[in-house]
Amino acid sequence: MKNLSVDFLRSFVTITQTGSYTLCAERLKRTQPAISLQIKKLEDVVGEKLFIRESNRLTLTLAGSKLLEFGMKIISLNDQAMKEFGRPQVSGNIKLGIPSEFSTTLMPKIIRRFINTYPEISLEVHCALSKDLLCEPLKSKFDLILSLQEDADSSQEGHIITDQLVWVGSQRFVNTIPEKLPIIAAPSPCLYRKRVTSVLNAHKKNWQIIYTIADLNGIQTAINEDLGITALARSTVPPGLFILPPSPLLPELGQVGVYLMNPQKVRSEAIELLAKTIETQLAI
């Protein structure tokens, strides 16, 4: 199959815009004979005459009019593609802090997508409790901090989404909830732990912390062993765990806010690209 040359099409379109081989050559910084040769070769490819000269004026033939429409689209697509791939690589070093519960579900996929898109950016990710991330000495070490906060205020700076806290357990607890709730939680000052204990106390429920561990993988393992139940933001519930519906024994836990903070107020293209990627992906 024959192929249309983008260079030849660009000369052809430029001639139709300027009405002259000479002006086309000046605009494209080529010689007039070179432009004439390109048009001759283009006519050979399509097998049609593209221009006719009437009273020292170039006029498109019917074939030329048809090719003009295709030519403009092809050149536009070519230029868009080259503009995309011709962008200079963004580089930089970013330190990102994220809550531990985001480390096994949402964030790995987002981070993988980001580093594949911007391979020149060096990204270091640190996982910890939100309260620890937002306090010294950790706070000053990060360029961006993703955190969970009790207030879900969409007008507050850095707010990305509002998430629902849900009860989570194994299949066993989907069907049977004991009167004395066995709670698995991260150590204080974990936001989830604080919310669970305050809500259960407010509803005068019987409960007991039976397993304390900061790592979400450890919490998940304890749940899979039927040791108890926990609370997580709905968007962070790992595969294999079950969201338990509210019931008289399991009162509603309310909502939390997910925020992205720039603690050092440092701006760079790399930081802004990462912030935009996180905000866009979490909001989906």
Domain range 164-255, its CATH number among 3.40.50.970, 3.30.70.100, 3.40.190.10, 3.40.50.150 = 3.40.190.10
What pLDDT is attached to residue 284?
65
**Token pair 């609370």 in the structure block, residue:** 231
Whether the CB-CB separation of 253 and 183 falls below 8 Å is answered with no
Does 7 score more than 90 pLDDT?
yes
CATH 3.20.20.60 for domain 92-158+257-282: no
The first and second tokens of residue 185, run together, are 């939680």
In angstroms, the CA 81 to CA 23 distance is 27
Backbone angles phi, psi at 202, to 5 degrees: -65, -30
Does 73 score more than 90 pLDDT?
yes
In angstroms, the CA 118 to CA 169 distance is 38
pTM strictly above 0.85: no
* Parts of the chain belonging to CATH 3.40.190.10: 92-158+257-282, 164-255
Residue-wise pLDDT for 100-157, tens only, equals 888 877 889 899 989 988 888 999 999 988 888 988 988 999 999 999 998 888 888 8
| Amino acid letter, 271 | I
Residue-wise pLDDT for 240-260, tens only, equals 899 998 888 999 999 999 999
Does 86 score more than 70 pLDDT?
no
CATH 3.40.50.1110 for domain 6-85: no
Cα angle for residues 198, 199, 200 (degrees, 5° grid): 95
In angstroms, the CA 24 to CA 46 distance is 21
